[in-house]
Structure 1
Amino acid sequence: MGGGLGLSVHGRYRVATEKTVIAMPETKIGLFPDVGGSYFLPRLQVNLGLYLGLTGDRLKGGDVVKAGIATHFVPSKRLYDLEKLLPRCTSESEVNSLLSKFHEPVEEFSLAPHVKHINYCFAASTIEEIIERLEKVQNEWSVKTLKTLRQMCPGSLKLTLRALQRGAQLQLGQCLRMEYRLACRATLNHDFPEGVRALLIDKDNNPQWNPKTLEDVDDDYIESYFKKLPEEQELKFFGKL
């Protein structure tokens, strides 16, 4: 979830089991998918990453492989044997060969029936247009997705969409620098502390967002998050990223 996924998803080999559950649920607490979310989410197939980043929907087990987030599926009962054998590998080809032996086929992607609609709805350039397209689809999935989006922080939805759109054109290091700017501003603004209070501390599940509605979130508000920090506060990298 969130940061845990961010630490894992950038690795070359990513093993899922039937117990694996992943999500980027930040829009529910007034934040945005960070830890490289702006890099890996927009690179998933058929706008799936925009759907996951905006709705916080969870993927489990084999779905994590089908989505392209995990590279291999290994039943949890076989993990111990895999862990014993991996340190004996002396080359990348041996690692690949070993993982291939442990990898097992997964069932059909649970979101497969909705991929067409995900691709259509989440190709829209604004949150308002995404909502309009979902309203046109008019099926059980779209109704559920609309309900989910309406529970999210309006500012976070627009901020997330803008970050993912820009992240699609950036390298990982550039995405991390952008996300750092966004995170610094989020900690100083109203919504993130309020989301943490309402969902994680007081648990009243009644956040009072500000701006309160999508209509209240203007472009100046969103762009203020992306402005460069003072040079001494900018994220620095040592070595290549």
Structure 2
Amino acid sequence: MMQRFKAALLQRRNNLHIHSLRFLNQYHTRNLCSLPDTAITDEVDNQVLVEGKAWSRTAILNRPSVLNCLSTAMGARLQKLYTSWENNPDIGFVAMKGSGRAFCAGGDIVSLYHMINAGEYLGLTGQKLNGAEMISCGLATHYAHSSVKIVGPFLCFNHLCCLYKIVLPPFFPQKLALIEEQLGKLDTDDPSVIETSLEKYSDLVYLDNISVLHRIEILDKCFGHDTVEEIIDALESETSKTNDAWCISTLRRLKEASPLGLKVSLKSIREGRFQTLDQCLIREYRMSLQGISNQVSRDFCEGVRARMVDKDLAPKWNPPSLEQVSKDMVEHYFSPLSKSEPDLELPTELREAFT
């Protein structure tokens, strides 16, 4: 079984040309064939730790040196763990967290498909929401002061649509320990019980005066257009009239981003508003694999190189301008994967509806 697993990993890497991504080689790839089966198993097990209590389990991402960035092996182990826990009637509650200071580099990104125009703004600029903004938008359910930014998601396996995210900004580790202890004692997946447990440690939080959510009117005005070109034109017009600092910084971010990436992101956000969660996950899975396949462009690799490897912040995008991005280039990111790389399979039939 392990030999087949190794072979599958190597084949996947070859198909997607991952060996050409210097940043992946630098951080977490190794020659699996040079390691005995036990060494491979031990290494993967150590990257995802498990804490177990009577009625609950906690999966801990354990690669703090690279901000707990997910690898293929970690994903496979998580899938195995979640499948076993979901099929265990004696486990009512599951949590996930990251060791060290980060939850998961790239893994806590939330797609805001149902927020009119705010999704476009965040998706195209790469800006982040703070804890108060996440609460206001409904992306987080509870806020508690602590040393960890985000702990979660917390999933009730008998209600897989029920998702809790606790936002935990400044330093107060005692409260985090209390939250984990309280959740670890749960012997039910009843959402009302979980809600009551979390409410005990929640704090009220309010938006800062400089929050982008106070700029909804101008945000709608600029990001409500049909194309990236029209959005940029609107921002340039607003900037020339107001010389507003937010408009200036937002415009700069858009002009620094990958032209192809901007158009792919905008299409994804717009399509997501009319799709189910399963459809959104499948679409983003396709986009991710198409992005690292380098078949249309190497912009994903180039962006990582410029920001995380060489850190020169000077990516060379291809195509270099919005005008040179064709419709076919964008559509490729949403096309079905090759026969050797099947689409994402979701256990839809195992889910119970939750409203």
Give the counterpart letter for 2:181 in structure 1: K
Aligned-pair CA distance for 1:119 = 2.0
Deviating more after overlay: 229-238 vs 171-180? 229-238
Q: Which has the larger radius of gyration?
A: 2
Aligned residue for 1:106? Answer: 205
1:85 maps to 182
Q: Give secondary structure in 2 for the equivalent of 1:59.
A: coil
1 CA distance for matches of 2:103 and 2:194? 24
Please give the per-residue CA displacement for 1:139-168, whole angstroms capped at 9, x wherever unaligned.
221111101111111110001001111111
Alignment of 1:160-239 (within 5 A): 160-187=265-292, 188=294, 189-239=297-347
Q: TM-score, normalised by structure 2?
A: 0.55
Aligned residues: 220
Shift of the 23–136 alpha-carbon distance from structure 1 to 2, 3 Å rule, reads: farther
> What aligned pairs does 1:1-241 form with structure 2 within 5 A after superposition?
37=110, 40-44=111-115, 46-76=116-146, 77=172, 78-89=175-186, 90=188, 91-109=190-208, 110-138=211-239, 139-187=244-292, 188=294, 189-240=297-348
Which residue of the partner structure matches residue 30 of structure 1? none
Distance 2:176 2:264 in 1: 38
Q: What is the Cα deviation at residue 132 of structure 1?
A: 1.6
Paired residue secondary structure (2:315): coil
The alpha-carbon distance between structure 1 residues 226 and 62, as it changes in their structure 2 partners (threshold 3 A), is same
Q: Distance in 2 between matches of 1:116 and 1:13?
A: 38
Q: Which runs of 5 or more residues in structure 1 are unaligned?
A: 25-33
Structure 1 position 92, deviation (Å): 2.5
8 Å CA contact 1:50–1:122 kept in 2: the answer is yes
Residues of 1 paired with 2:283 and 2:254: CA distance?
24
Q: CA RMSD in A?
A: 3.2
Q: What is the TM-score of this pair, normalised by structure 1? A: 0.79
1:23 and 1:126, CA in 2 relative to 1: closer, same or farther beyond 3 A? farther
Percent identity, aligned pairs only, is: 33
Distance 2:338 2:207 in 1: 49
- 1:185-222 Cα offsets, whole Å, 9 max, x none, are 21123211211222211122111111001111121211
SS in 1 for 2:288: helix
Gaps of 5+ in 2: 1-66, 76-93, 147-171
Quote the Cα distance in structure 1 between the aligned partners of 2:344 and 2:103: 32
CA distance in structure 2 between the partners assigned to 1:231 and 1:72 by the alignment: 42
Q: Which amino acid aligns with 1:177?
A: I
Contact 2:285–2:344 (Cα < 8 Å) also in 1: no
Shift of 1:22: 10
Q: 1:152 to 1:62 in 2, by over 3 A?
A: same
- Deviation, 1:81, is 1.5
